[in-house]
């Protein structure tokens, strides 16, 4: 793009294209429709498109910890953002994060309202315990500790926000 944000791409063969702008620290502004997808543009032979508009917004960041029922960190838990434009989040590869060895995660997302959930992968087939116990398994859990999505609050992310403390206590 130029200094005014205008861009030109040519020549492009006829077809349907997914249009996805990129800039560090920004994401395509998402409509609040959960079914929103990556914008597409269909070009017919000889067609010229002018004044095609894409809006971007500063990314928002959430972070927190995933803890087990005793308050200990859960390592390698998958943390998901469920919200507007879910298909677009999948396409961009930003819908999921994983916890580190301290149970911490950090996600960079487009502004919007999200429910944050975690799932702990079942590695029980890989583990043999000498004491005969089985590893703990957990159902999907939404922030802060709901096992029913209807009881999970929305986390409201404004453009440019950095929201820590979105912790999830497994049940």
DSSP 31: P
- More confident position, 10 or 44: 44
pLDDT in tens, 105-147: 999 988 888 999 999 887 655 667 678 776 678 899 999 999 9
The token pair that represents 121 in the structure block = 């992968």
Interstrand relation of 78-82 and 112-119 (parallel, antiparallel or unpaired) = antiparallel
Average pLDDT, the chain: 86
pLDDT at position 149:
92
The token pair that represents 93 in the structure block = 């590869």
pLDDT at position 94:
75
Categorize the per-residue pLDDT at 90 as very low, low, confident or very high, splitting at 50, 70 and 90: confident
pLDDT surpassing 80 at residue 45: yes
Q: Are 170 and 103 a contacting pair, CB within 8 Å?
A: no
Model pTM score: 0.76
pLDDT in tens, 47-57: 988 888 888 88
Contacts of 165 (CB under 8 A, 6+ apart): 63, 64
Categorize the per-residue pLDDT at 20 as very low, low, confident or very high, splitting at 50, 70 and 90: confident
Q: Please report, rounded to a whole number, the percentage of residues in the chain having pLDDT higher than 90.
A: 46
Question: What one-character-per-residue DSSP string does 47-102 give?
Answer: ----S----EEE-EEEEEEEE-TTSPBPTT-EEEEE-TTHHHHHHHT-SEEE--TT
Question: What one-character-per-residue DSSP string does 93-138 give?
Answer: T-SEEE--TTSEEEEEE-SEEEEEEEE----GGG---TT-------
pLDDT in tens, 56-82: 889 899 999 999 999 999 999 999 998
């Amino acid at each position: 793009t130029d200094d005014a944000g205008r861009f030109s791409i040519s020549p492009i063969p006829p077809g349907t294209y997914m249009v996805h702008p990129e800039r560090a620290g920004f994401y395509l502004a998402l409509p609040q429709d959960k079914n929103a997808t990556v914008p597409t543009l269909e070009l017919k032979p000889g067609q010229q498109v002018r004044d095609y508009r894409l809006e971007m917004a500063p990314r928002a960041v959430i972070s927190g910890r995933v803890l087990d029922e005793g308050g200990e960190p859960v390592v390698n838990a998958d943390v998901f953002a469920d919200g507007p434009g879910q298909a677009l989040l999948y396409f961009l590869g930003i819908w999921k994060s994983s916890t580190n060895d301290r149970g911490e995660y950090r996600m960079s997302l487009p502004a919007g309202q999200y429910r944050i959930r975690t799932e702990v992968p079942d590695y029980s087939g890989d583990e043999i315990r000498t004491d005969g116990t089985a590893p703990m398994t957990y159902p999907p859990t939404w922030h802060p500790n709901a096992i029913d999505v209807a009881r999970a609050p929305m986390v409201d992310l404004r453009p440019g926000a950095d929201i820590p403390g979105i912790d999830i206590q497994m049940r």
